[in-house]
Structure 1
Amino acid sequence: MKYIKIASSALNGLRGLLLFALVSAFWGCGSPSGKPDAGGIAISFDDHFIKEWYQLRPLFQKYNAKATFFITCPDSLNAEEIAMLKQLEIEGHEIGFHGTVHAKSTELMAAGGPKGYIETELEPGLRHMHAAGFKPTSYAHPGGNHNDRVDSVLLAKGFTILRDVAISRRKFKGFQLYAWPPRWMNAIYYAFDGEQKVDALMIDYDEVTEEEVGEAIQEAKENGTALMVFGHEPLYSAPENGKYGFNVSFLAAVLREADQQKLKFYTMSELPKVK
């Protein structure tokens, strides 16, 4: 029994250390400091909802906002979608890359090494992107899955910023496991320090509230940082039939608040370039 108690105590201590490390990584001991008057917001969107994103143009134009669109499965791009993406690019938005097959990068790396990963997930999609006239310099990890080996390959391929996923809420079988206030999640604020590996807060349906994002926007303004957020498909009602995405009215509220707070709108590739 004595040994069981010791083992249990050690396990609890380990759990405490892991929790502390996790909290420190996201919450820290205070918000990161950026650059005076550089406070802003970097909005991005993932996957292949091109027509749906294109329909948001009037909303972006209303607030003079720009965003980054991370494209996956570019081999399926048709002429109409390419024209839409080019128009978005003309209007100041960025076209980024989200992988060829949207697979788990760590599994591809483990199975085929850097060569297999490049030949499966990177080169085929990039060839299609280049053929369509796009030269992406930003990359969003599919599913937020990656490790240092994956990152090193992506940086060597010329990507200047790699975007991961940060989640404010986590549920399991309908039960909420945790809820972190975004204003305390240091990882989602860009401090204009040249960092190339970043996290963005997911704003899909039921992931975060308007009030919480409003507080995060205020945090970015006060500290001269850029709040990074992202979503998937634009939705006009609660998601059904396995759909996932953000409510358009929610995005409108984010843009309105950012505009009222006079935040700058950044594309992802612009962030490391700010001096």
Structure 2
Amino acid sequence: MKYIKTSLKALNGLLWLLLAVVAMVLWGCGSPSGKPGAGGIAISFDDHFIKEWYELRPLFHKYNAKATFFITCPDSLNAEEVSMLKQLEKEGHEIGFHGTVHAKSTELMAAGGPKGYIEAELETGLRHMNAAGFKPTSYAHPGGNHNDRVDSVLLAKGFTVLRDVAISRRKYKGFQFYAWPPRWMNAIYYPFDGAQQVDALMIDYDEVTGEEVAEAIQEAKENGTAVMVFGHEPLYSAPQNGKYGFNVSFLAAVLREAHKQRLKFYTMSELPKTR
């Protein structure tokens, strides 16, 4: 996950600011150059909000958009949900994998090694996915938690693209730690270089503005890259009772702008295949 992981209690506001500057320098700024004419957008959704995603189909149809749906806890898939996912797949969307138990991969790896990690987080869920008729080739890290060891196991298991999390702003106790313009976050732009480890910008409620996403879309168009964004549950008002997700009207604005700019909609697995 692309934000600084450290002890909040041990740092004062000034040190947070200094760390943010360092992160920005290390992260880099500005969109990379991609493939001329290939500018696009790759939208994905995480977790298990299948019925809610399915209800977005008219919106996808309106803008001829396609997306990738990363499924977690596939052992709980019922017949109706499987049918919905198959219809989404039939319409050009991709069904990816988001883990069996949605646990911290690094902790599973540390506790049980590659074998334990595979048994706990991969094999059981993939068995249920396969039984339902899905063979995912893209993987979204639960909580953005992973390391090189985890990635190497996932790639060895046949996943062709691994998606991480990028966040443009971070708050702590109401204090704005940083707000980094998405147009400068080079990690969220795919340059069509065959890379298998990628990052997507979170568009959940209050994470990014419509203007910022519009600028990111323009950046992708101008540089021939694909901007990658993702969210969780579709919401129709501000989140309540601990819910997290994106406002459907916000997603509509993103799709409308991408369509207006004539960007191509990519699924996650299509990105490393496009040269």
**Shorter-chain TM band:** over 0.9
1:26 and 2:46 matched: no
- CA positional deviation for 1:22: 2.1
Partner of 2:255: 255
Partner of 1:66: 66
Partner of 2:95: 95
**Counterpart amino acid of 2:258?**
A
Q: What secondary structure does 1:194 align onto?
A: coil
Aligned mates of 2:40, 2:23 — CA distance in 1: 26
Q: Which runs of 4+ in 1 moved over 4 A?
A: 18-21
State whether residues 99 and 125 of structure 2, in contact with CA within 8 Å, keep that contact through their aligned partners in structure 1: yes
Aligned mates of 1:236, 1:19 — CA distance in 2: 33
**CA offsets per residue over residues 49-90 of structure 1, 9 Å max, x none?**
000000000000000000000000000000000000000000
Q: With structure 2 as the length reference, what TM-score do the two structures score? A: 0.92
**CA offsets per residue over residues 236-267 of structure 1, 9 Å max, x none?**
00000000000000000000000000000000
In structure 2, stretches of 5+ residues that fail to align are 1-13
1:172 and 2:177 matched: no
Partner of 1:239: 239
Aligned mates of 1:211, 1:45 — CA distance in 2: 21
Aligned mates of 2:252, 2:218 — CA distance in 1: 17
Aligned mates of 1:53, 1:19 — CA distance in 2: 34
- CA positional deviation for 1:25: 4.1
1:187 and 2:178 matched: no
- CA positional deviation for 1:175: 1.9
Partner of 1:226: 226
Q: What secondary structure does 2:66 align onto?
A: coil
In structure 1, stretches of 5+ residues that fail to align are 1-11
Q: With structure 1 as the length reference, what TM-score do the two structures score? A: 0.92
State whether residues 20 and 178 of structure 2, in contact with CA within 8 Å, keep that contact through their aligned partners in structure 1: no
Partner of 2:11: none
**Counterpart amino acid of 1:91?**
E
- CA positional deviation for 1:19: 5.1
1:81 and 2:78 matched: no
Partner of 2:126: 126
State whether residues 45 and 68 of structure 1, in contact with CA within 8 Å, keep that contact through their aligned partners in structure 2: yes
Query: Root-mean-square deviation (CA), in Å?
Result: 1.4
